[in-house]
Amino acid sequence: MQIGIIGAPNKGKSTLFSALTMNEVSIADYPFTTIDPNIGVAYAVAECVEKELSVKCRARNSLCVDGVRMLPINIIDVAGLVEGAHEGRGMGNQFLNDLAGADAYLLVVDASGKTDPAGLHSGQDNDPVQDVVTVKKELVAWLAGIVKDHIGTMSRNADGAEALHSVLAGLKVSKDEITASIEKSFLTSGNINWSDKDIETFAGNLMEVSKPILIVANKADSKEAPRHIADLKARFGDKNVIGCSAAIELALRKAAKQGIISYNPGGRSFEIKKRDIGEEQMAALEYMRGFIAKDGTNVQAVINYAVFSLLDDIVVYPVEDENKYTDHFGNVLPDAIPIHNGSTAYDLAERIHTDIARGMLYAIDAKKKMRVAKDYVLKNNDVIKIVTAARQK
């Protein structure tokens, strides 16, 4: 799984990336600080099933702290996008190509309204709603451009959905998503020879289906933020917007790393461990304490929402011994795997290894000690053993 951080320049994308991953990146008050993409790992958190089973896990592919499972999620922070990016303006072409492998996007805007769409401090109250409109428009134009470039070849294929899939598969777009987008656009799917307007309509629908977007209203600690966040929610929907302060989260995580405070990411409080710090630093900590007391910084909420709501993933635990909940080496609940809600036991087998899926006979619900079929629909916190033909010999 990969989540891309996108937005116009100088809105706080790299600060959010650093707060999520604790990777050191260039953060500056001018456009195009990010040129090459920053790649790192953030953690979505969920309650570990160890509590329910009254065991102590030994996590292998993730972390488990006090019964909370921390699931690694790949994050990519790309160059800022400006109007005309799909035509190569700014860092446009590189920006868009870097996004190809992402499953979902975090679209960062400046909730303070202090920066204009080009990432410059204009001295005016800028509307972050327009930033969202611009970025979405560029994404659709980019996707439409790819389709237009291949329309001649695709028009010779009687199966238009398959022709589109052969062109767009590298963007992690499925044939089912393509078919659904064709139907939603009221277009024919055989020997595609659409007009430019038809292609743009299709691209807009496909982008919506295949690349869900969460709007991250950054700098939520500013005086102007409540008004701008309300406008964003009114325009794009309450569930599609989360206000956060990446700068405060990053400062708190750095202070915790230095041993100055004790702080759990996403928490609503912290304990000051070092008192021998300057008055200015103490005042900054007290300011941040006041801000996070209500809802926290929401940075952890952003990654959790992206994984469990935007992408609609659940967490399942594959094991080899359904009685002890262990793998071959005796590790208890070693792997926690995020998988799309609605996936089957067979889908889980494929995620583990194609050979396991190929030889799969059935699965065992380790909680109930009950055999289930390949098409058993997984539930959150299921513990599953995959039984294969090879194991029966």
Q: How far apart are CA 38 and CA 331, in angstroms?
A: 33
Alpha-carbon separation of residue 251 from 19, 225, 258 (angstroms): 8, 19, 11
What is the pairing mode between strands 261-262 and 271-272? antiparallel
Which sign, positive or negative, has the C-alpha torsion 25, 37, 211, 205?
Answer: positive
Percent of the chain with pLDDT over 70: 90
Q: Are 384 and 363 in contact (CB under 8 A)?
A: yes
Residue 27's pLDDT band (boundaries 50, 70, 90)? very low
- pLDDT computed for residue 87 by the predictor: 59
Q: Indicate if the pLDDT at residue 129 is higher than 90.
A: yes
Backbone angles phi, psi at 119, to 5 degrees: 90, 15
Q: Is 72 helix (H, G, I), strand (E, B) or coil?
A: strand
- pLDDT computed for residue 101 by the predictor: 84
Q: Indicate if the pLDDT at residue 212 is higher than 60.
A: yes
Residue 226's pLDDT band (boundaries 50, 70, 90)? very high
E strands along 190-298, which residues? Answer: 213-218, 241-243, 261-262, 271-272
- pLDDT computed for residue 253 by the predictor: 93
Tell me the mean pLDDT in the region 208-237.
Answer: 96
pLDDT for 41-84, tens place per residue? 999 999 999 999 999 999 999 999 889 999 999 999 987 776 76
- pLDDT computed for residue 32 by the predictor: 42
- pLDDT computed for residue 29 by the predictor: 43
Q: What is the mean pLDDT of the chain?
A: 89
pLDDT for 337-359, tens place per residue? 999 999 999 999 999 999 999 99
More reliable by pLDDT, 154 or 383: 383
Residue 203's pLDDT band (boundaries 50, 70, 90)? very high
Lowest-confidence pick of 22-26, 139-143, 153-157, 336-340: 22-26
Lowest-confidence pick of 35-49, 100-114, 177-191, 291-305: 35-49
HSE-CB for 237 with a 13 A CA cutoff: 5
- pLDDT computed for residue 80 by the predictor: 74
Q: Are 114 and 121 in contact (CB under 8 A)?
A: yes
What is the pairing mode between strands 38-47 and 68-77? antiparallel
Cβ neighbours for 226, distance < 8 A, ≥ 6 positions apart: none
- pLDDT computed for residue 98 by the predictor: 75
- Which residue, chain included where needed, has tokens 């916190």? 381
Cβ neighbours for 237, distance < 8 A, ≥ 6 positions apart: none
pLDDT for 28-42, tens place per residue? 444 444 445 789 999
Q: Are 37 and 31 in contact (CB under 8 A)?
A: no
| Alpha helix (H) residue ranges in 3-73 | 13-21, 50-53
- pLDDT computed for residue 94 by the predictor: 59
SS3 track for 136-164: HHHHHHHHHHHHHHCHHHHCCCCCHHHHH
SS3 track for 295-352: HCCCHHHHHHHHHHHHCCEEEEEEECECCCCECCCCCECCCCEEEECCCEHHHHHHHH
Tell me the mean pLDDT in the region 154-166.
Answer: 90
* CA angle 29–114–136, rounded 5-degree value: 90
Q: Indicate if the pLDDT at residue 391 is higher than 90.
A: no
Q: Are 218 and 111 in contact (CB under 8 A)?
A: yes
Residue 231 tokens read as 């406008």
Q: Indicate if the pLDDT at residue 151 is higher than 80.
A: yes
Lowest-confidence pick of 83-92, 124-133, 135-144, 171-180: 83-92
Question: Cα-atom radius of gyration of the chain, to the nearest Å?
Answer: 23
Q: Indicate if the pLDDT at residue 91 is higher than 60.
A: no
Backbone angles phi, psi at 220, to 5 degrees: -70, -10
Q: How far apart are CA 64 and CA 317, in angstroms?
A: 13
- Amino acid letter for position 320: E
What is the pairing mode between strands 2-6 and 271-272? unpaired
Percent of the chain with pLDDT over 90: 71
C-beta atoms surrounding 96 within 10 Å: 23
Q: Is 73 helix (H, G, I), strand (E, B) or coil?
A: strand
- pLDDT computed for residue 189 by the predictor: 87
